[in-house]
Structure 1
Amino acid sequence: MVAEIAGSLPNADSDAQKKIVNRLRRAQGQLGALIATVETGAGCRDVVHQLAAVSKALDRAGFLVISEAMKECLINPDAEGSPQSEEIEKLFLSLA
């Protein structure tokens, strides 16, 4: 199912895909900071703040992917490989 949605993402030079990649890179950086925070024995508060930042960055990337799939579904509902509304709904709910 994710493969079908990934097939509906915009081309590599599009603004939407750049935003998705930037959000994933941000999450990657925050995950590195989280690991460093845990390795240095930081307090619970610092660890939880880093966990929340990573989680939020990943959620935003996921919602952006779903948003792009919904746009594609609305613009080209009959296109081959275009995600169906039920498919998008399931993916959206999996992020909730």
Structure 2
Amino acid sequence: MVQDQPLVPRNQEETKLILNRLRRVEGQIRGIQQMVEEDRYCTDILVQISAANSALKKVGLQVLEHHTAHCVVKAAEDGDNGEVMDDLISAIRQFSKS
């Protein structure tokens, strides 16, 4: 059930929340780049990297929640039961690598 298009598109509010979170992560990354350029203390940089990783993981969880609650449910309702679980497990495995 690999899809090019989502089974259930995100609503505008979900999209807005995800994009806002990603913009914050982008700002964090730029801040980390600046810290490196300024030769800041390594521990301070590592703390910021950890914060950026955590923020990005939250975005991933939000996307995974949408996928599970909407796309997987819709596919199951449409009778794609065998592939649905394989797709969900694959998505969870891929996400958990990060």
Shorter-chain TM-score: which interval? 0.7 to 0.9
Is the 1:10–1:16 Cα contact (8 Å) retained in structure 2?
A: yes
Larger Rg: 2
Amino acid at match of 2:6: G
CA distance in structure 1 between the partners assigned to 2:63 and 2:4 by the alignment? 8
- Secondary structure of the structure 1 residue equivalent to 2:3: helix
CA distance in structure 2 between the partners assigned to 1:87 and 1:37 by the alignment? 40
In structure 2, runs of 5+ residues without a counterpart are none
Q: 1:54 pairs with 48, 52, 55, which one?
A: 52
Give RMSD over aligned pairs.
2.5
TM-score normalised by the chain length of structure 1: 0.77
Q: Partner of 1:91 in structure 2?
A: 91
| Greater Cα shift, 39-48 or 69-78 | 69-78
How far has the Cα of 1:92 moved from its partner? 1.7
TM-score normalised by the chain length of structure 2: 0.76
Q: What is the percentage of aligned positions where both structures have the same residue?
A: 24
In structure 1, runs of 5+ residues without a counterpart are none
How far has the Cα of 1:79 moved from its partner? 8.0
- Secondary structure of the structure 2 residue equivalent to 1:18: helix
